[in-house]
Structure 1
């Protein structure tokens, strides 16, 4: 009894000292312990996700991949796998597992090494949120105390949910939701038991146990997880056998991008970073919804890409990128006596002391061809391919996906040799005139068939806006964002050419001119004493009609008439009026070249100016973010644009207690909404910068510019420069204006429907390079003589706004307006319509082909009647036969 008593006292003293030590350690490290109450309101470092207006994911930004999930949405098999492997007594202990700690301590005494951490899920959570992964005694002690605190604050289910969303699982995936997407490209509820077990095995060492980097080790770790599940009776022996035998199926998956619209995504990303800062924007879990519908964005991208290929094909084929074999000798090779197989190209050159380059067909098997093609950049929609066989009028290629394809003659016959931007070689007669075996080329799919392709050197852009509120509806900044991140739709200031004329004509209407005003379309020869040079602005083409009505002058885009109107109104007054359309006054040149479009503006700025004409005179502000949600899907902000209305009778919901962030509201154009109760908010009216009557008259003139006018048989027939638009779209409720600068360095087409404005631009990034001209390709005419191709390869002559930029606008609007009923711009009050003489613009009592009806602002209509001897009967003019379509082109 004496010894038992002594032992009891010793144990009691030891326990007391141990407890005192624990208390002492606790108070010693207490100042360093974080508050775990923050876990009650955790904000995950979740990537920013950007969506189209209709909810299609277009991009995701952020280093960490995380898809937060609720515990009830996690498959039970995954929960069981985690618990069985990491903490089987999770629901029994209070954050610290004495059995596990004892086992770890015993192992430490036996081996002297820290091999077992004995960490519960709660302790792992404590380490993940508040501590590092270093193996030290003080970190373990802190981990224990923090875990104990967590258990006092949170329920077991809350702890488990936090753990499942916090745990690092490799390849930048944090949380089980992100791991399912990264490794399998699926949501959790679609994964098999084997796949769930693989994810459950990752927390131990995610970098070396993941199925992408080390599938062998991942498979062995999966077997251990399944054994633990079997031991804990979470699965049956049959389930175990099936899951263990399953192959390791995993590959790296990116975000589930539903629509690739990188120029749009980049605009939104940069705006969010400007407001929130890079780290907050990329980790705040923001879900940003653009104003752009996915269907319009797709059509815009397709229209620009197709249009640039059409231009590129008109100007000839620059030849294969390289040759795997059968490399032809160049003139330099022949002069120097070089072997054409000796090349410094990336396919055929070899380092010193390496085998000789492969230059013969037998040196290339399919695998080596595919390896060579893998080095060629893929730029959607271009697919690298090698020419395997050349027939009379077709070729067989092996593409980079390992698929053999046949290119028929209709996909080859465009490929005349490129000489310069203005010269092309003869039309090919056979496929051998274009390609030889071994050539490395690009191919692309167009309208269901594969064709020879090349990467266009020319650039283009398209931007579309809702004229009623400025919402961006589509934006394309170039052929490929992955080739060039420069957004030509919003960043490229280029000379606008005749796209400026609608604004010049608006200034004229504001200063006493009418649509029937007669201006002399005759050459101008103005001597400049200061420079000693005469300024001779010319029409393009250099044709002059003499006295001409203002409507016709805009429709035909008469340069000298625009200059005369500028002079009639005054330079300063015209410049001030143009600035009303949203153009930066500093970008408006203060000389007479202003009237011909010497000023440089972005496509977005031009489109904004056109919205004023389309919406009745209101200056709206372009914006591209409709709303911002937090990571839980709660609406934080929504756009509050100004509208083309005054007064604006409709209302929209808005929060009564907004959590306002001044910078976001001011710079981002967003406003908080739907935080608490909803109340009505009136639409904000945009400033009216020109009258509704002025806007209507300009819009009606622009309608003339996209159609054929008059009667051919009565010899009053004439074409607007954008006449193809009306012919193809077959609508009367559209208007537009072409634009071409000197030497065709910039080409434009801007136009509108009451509900949609779009501007297309085509040019080279090198501003000194001209778009040139294309000669007639007889192959294309021979293939389809009954329907001469209006919009692509068959266009000939000097490139201009109608030929180079117009097709992109037409294709886009054709899709955007498909199915929409005709909806012409309403005629405003104080607009009257009277019959006038076609040639003089005066009132007339005649009702024949020499007359027409014209719109006027009430009080500005002509007062005098045309005299009989002033009437011009156009049927008396001698006119050649009506031009056929190919002659027009």
Structure 2
């Protein structure tokens, strides 16, 4: 008995010591493994990795950026069928344990001993949340202990609802779908709330092994896993026997759905992505930002269509360049279907132009395989455009048969039109469209090329190209600021300037037609180059160059010689659009912008752009001149009353007392103009009133009005149709509140069209990325061998893009009535001399002037061989 009591005492002491030792060891282990563990309360404000969304101003999805597709849901938005399926699969005692489930751990140990395999970890949903948010996926005892500690802490700080919501929003379901919201859309194309029992069971079974059970790649394994989940739900009485039997009988019916892009705007999306990355770094792709741009779906789709269709039309005009490659020649063994499809798989479709391989060709038709394995037919009508491309200026004769154009074994490009397939090709030329609101600078549409997949180079913002005649309105604006008027007469006649030791410079009109003395308005509208050169001589090259900076043109891109008059300076289409906005909005230099606002995925604006706006309601006296009474250098302007032999110095004069040029009166705020003619932006901002931020007023409202009105004449010409401007094709819009200017550089290497409509300014550029290539010539009627070749240019190449775009976006916009500044007056002038008309007659037309600059002398009238002045005094001409 004594021995038994001693043994019992020993065992008791041993047990107590063991318990104490275990407690000490457990506490020491807890202290050791608890060090450096994160604060679980951070989960209350956790930011799940959610992709960035780029949207239009009207809320349409343009693009998403980010590796993880995720659509976070609140607990109340997760349907019970999903909760039950997940709990039955992953943690049946979820609502009973304290973060760690001893029963689950013992069950996992039992299975491990029985099977000699740790296939079950016994982790609860809480532990999985702890592991995924705070720990690495390594398999170790230390990591498991930390996981348990974190799980217990989480259960103290978070509710069960918060924990399971975190789990269902965080877990990987495969195919880049993270969270139940994204998984429901990725595999079923629906919201989580619309999932059926069968669908919820399939998704609940995926997190255990997303790749192995992926229903797209492993449908049989996925089906087995889904049925197992349904069986678990039946055993735990989440569903009835009838529901179980119905669900297991249903097919998978899965697909692969990605966020549907509402419309194509890849260059815009990339600009937004770059903006976000510059602002937020890598977190831009994971923090769920919603980036609202300024573009609209209607404008962007119109720009895309206008650009792509006209680029294709240009390409068709210039002929067929031949097949992409030849896979086998006549007489060689033809490739089989597998070989053909393998060859086509390395190519993509671009703007619905897709690769194909010709498998049969004869004079009447050809058959070809496209990249989905379908066989298509090309008939004579499909290839009738395909004159042989010889060079940029020459095309071959019309094709006489199908087999003369395409041959068996050739890899070609085709495009479907209605129910037929047409021979096509990837255009070699490219272009850009930029459309902005001139009142505040918001970009309404932008496309930087034919297809982003072919080239990611954004020509709207990165292509620095010669501006050509598109520069003329800005130089004429400088001329008005120097004292010239739209009625000033300059000589449209050839110029030759020789410098000792250098080649003579002979600027020419394009086409090389000369009309003699013309008013400045006509010179602008008919894009007369030699008149432009005489204008820049009158005001001075340096003044003109400095004046261009008022429109936002970069200093370093402005050439400072007389070639500036012909558009030798180079700018991007966006810079040109900004500059033309100054004319359209009354003289204000707005700053174009693309990002309107940025929101968190949970809601709330974290960034809102505040644009500088054109103050169209401001007092009109806030105008700008050159700050002094200087006028143009009249020695460089030909007097139209003298001989047309232009190279005699004594004949190359026009005097101020002729009543055409008068110094301007002193204008308020002239201190805002630097001595060199540029605008002092810092001072203008200091003088801006409180309230809205106004853009700098860089040219007077009167000056802007006159140029804007002159640009209308470029489209509509004069009232009696004696002449028409270079943009006359834009009359097809049927509007009188539009104006624009064409532009074509030397050898037609760059062609432009820039113009305005109500609250919209659009610039179009077209050209080859290779600066050495010219747009060349082509038959306007591609189906007529007798039609003459016509040179490509701003009017016939870029203009149609502008017309097609503006016709769509202005369709339901009422015509805007022009508001004439108070200091603008209309005076009846003689159309030939630009002087006051002696009386209303066929030669008298109205012209606008800034008050004080109108002519003061009357034109003489001719009667037979006699000239009678306004006072009635008559003299003989001979």
Equivalence for 2:311: 308
Q: Secondary structure at the match of 1:177?
A: helix
Deviation string, structure 1 residues 271-305 (Cα, Å, up to 9, x no partner)? 1111211x111112110000000110111011111
Instruction: State the partner residue of 2:845.
Output: 852
Task: Specify the SS of the correspondent of 2:172.
Answer: coil
Match 2:74 to one of 70, 75, 98: 70
Distance 2:401 2:749 in 1: 34
Aligned counterpart, 2:432: 461
Alignment of 1:168-179 (within 5 A): 168-179=172-183
Structure 1 residue aligned with 2:507:
537
1:724 aligns with 2:729: yes
* Matching residue within 156, 179, 184 for 1:180: 184
Distance 2:148 2:136 in 1: 14
Task: Assess if the C-alpha contact under 8 Å between 1:648 and 1:685 holds in 2.
Answer: no
What aligned pairs does 1:244-323 form with structure 2 within 5 A after superposition?
Answer: 244-277=248-281, 279-323=282-326
Matched, 1:431 2:402: yes
Please give the TM-score of this superposition, normalised by the length of structure 1. Answer: 0.85
**Alignment match of 1:96 (pick from 100, 105, 117):** 100
Matched, 1:165 2:169: yes
Q: What's 2:709 paired with?
A: 700
Q: Which residue is 1:682 aligned to? A: 691
Counterparts of 1:364 and 1:110 in 2: how far apart (Å)? 55
Is this contact kept in 1: 2:363–2:404, CA < 8 A?
Answer: no
Q: Deviations over 1:634-680 (max 9, x none)?
A: 1111110010006679xxxxxxxxxxxxxxxxxxxxxxxxxxxxxxx
Q: What SS class does the counterpart of residue 828 from structure 1 fall into?
A: coil
Within the candidate set 338, 346, 362, 1:375 is matched to: 346
Name the residue aligned to 1:217: 221
Match in the other structure for 1:790: none
SS of equivalent residue, structure 1 residue 105 = helix
User: 1:795, 1:803 within 8 Å by CA — same for their partners in 2?
Assistant: no
Q: CA deviation at 1:61?
A: 1.0
Aligned partners of 1:32 and 1:780: how far apart in 2? 82
Q: Which ranges of structure 1 fall in alignment gaps of 5 or more residues?
A: 329-339, 342-357, 650-680, 783-793, 874-889
Alignment of 1:784-863 (within 5 A): 796-863=789-856
3-state SS of paired residue (1:148): helix
Q: CA deviation at 1:544?
A: 0.6
- 1:885 aligns with none
The residue that corresponds to 1:655 in the other structure is none
* Other-structure match for 2:31: 27
Q: Deviations over 1:859-884 (max 9, x none)?
A: 111111111129999xxxxxxxxxxx
CA distance in 2, matches of 1:60, 1:423: 45
Give the RMSD, CA atoms, in angstroms.
2.6
Q: Could you report, residue by residue, the CA deviation over 1:65-112 in whole angstroms, capped at 9, with x for unpaired residues?
A: 222111222222211111000001101111111111222233445556
Stretch of structure 1 that moved more, 458-467 or 429-438: 429-438
Show the counterpart of 2:605: 635
Larger radius of gyration: 2
Q: 1:451 aligns with which of 422, 445, 457?
A: 422
Q: Distance in 2 between matches of 1:514 and 1:776?
A: 38
Q: Which residue of 2 aligns with 1:711?
A: 720
Taking the aligned partners of 1:128 and 1:511, their CA distance within structure 2 comes to 71
C-alpha contact (below 8 Å) 1:460/1:761 kept by paired residues: yes
Task: Decide which of 574, 578, 581 is 1:611's aligned counterpart.
Answer: 581
Q: Secondary structure at the match of 2:64?
A: strand
Q: Which runs of 5+ in 2 are unaligned?
A: 620-689, 867-878
CA distance in 1, matches of 2:817, 2:409: 56
Q: 1:584 aligns with which of 536, 539, 554?
A: 554
Shift of the alpha carbon at 1:474?
0.6
CA distance in 2, matches of 1:55, 1:449: 35
Match of 1:513 in 2: 484
Residues 445 and 510 (structure 1 numbering): CA distance in 2 closer, same or farther, change over 3 Å? farther
Q: CA deviation at 1:795?
A: 9.3
User: Are the aligned partners of 2:462 and 2:572 in contact in 1 as well (CA < 8 Å)?
Assistant: yes
Distance 1:819 1:393 in 2: 46
- The alpha-carbon deviation at position 173 of structure 1 amounts to 2.4
Matched pairs, number: 792
Pair 1:114-2:118 in alignment: yes
Report if the CA contact (8 A) 2:749-2:771 is conserved: yes
Provide the secondary structure at the position in 2 that maps to 1:705. Answer: helix
Determine which of 37, 41, 44 is the counterpart of 1:37. 41
CA contact (8 A) 1:29 1:142 kept: yes
CA distance in structure 1 between the partners assigned to 2:286 and 2:108 by the alignment: 37
Report the TM-score, using the length of structure 2 for normalisation: 0.86
**What pairs with 1:645-656 in structure 2 (closer than 5 Å)?**
645=615
Aligned partners of 1:71, 1:871: CA distance in 2, in Å? Answer: 97
Whole-angstrom distance in 1 between the partners of 2:94 and 2:865: 99
Separation in 2, partners of 1:858, 1:648? 19
Deviations 1:183-215 (A, max 9, x none): 333322343333322221122122322223433
- Aligned residue in 2 for 1:789: none
What CA distance in whole angstroms lies between the structure 1 residues aligned with 2:561 and 2:474?
16
Structure 1 pair 608–445 and aligned structure 2 pair: CA distance change class (3 A) = farther
Aligned to 1:525: 496
C-alpha distance in 2 between matches for 1:646 and 1:699: 15
Tell me the CA shift for residue 157 of structure 1. Answer: 0.2
TM-superposed CA distance for 1:29, in Å, is 2.0
State the alpha-carbon separation in 2 of the partners of residues 51 and 312 from structure 1.
Answer: 32
The answer as to whether partners of 1:648 and 1:684 remain within 8 angstroms in 2 is no
Q: Residues 862 and 445 from structure 1, CA distance in 2 versus in 1: closer, same or farther, beyond 3 angstroms?
A: farther
CA separation of 1:872/1:535 partners in 2, compared to 1, >3 Å: closer, same or farther?
Answer: farther
Q: Distance in 2 between matches of 1:514 and 1:765?
A: 39
Partner of 1:566: 536
- In 1: Cα distance, 2:580 partner to 2:745 partner: 19
CA distance in 2, matches of 1:215, 1:528: 82
Q: Contact 1:646/1:685 (CA < 8 Å) preserved in 2?
A: no
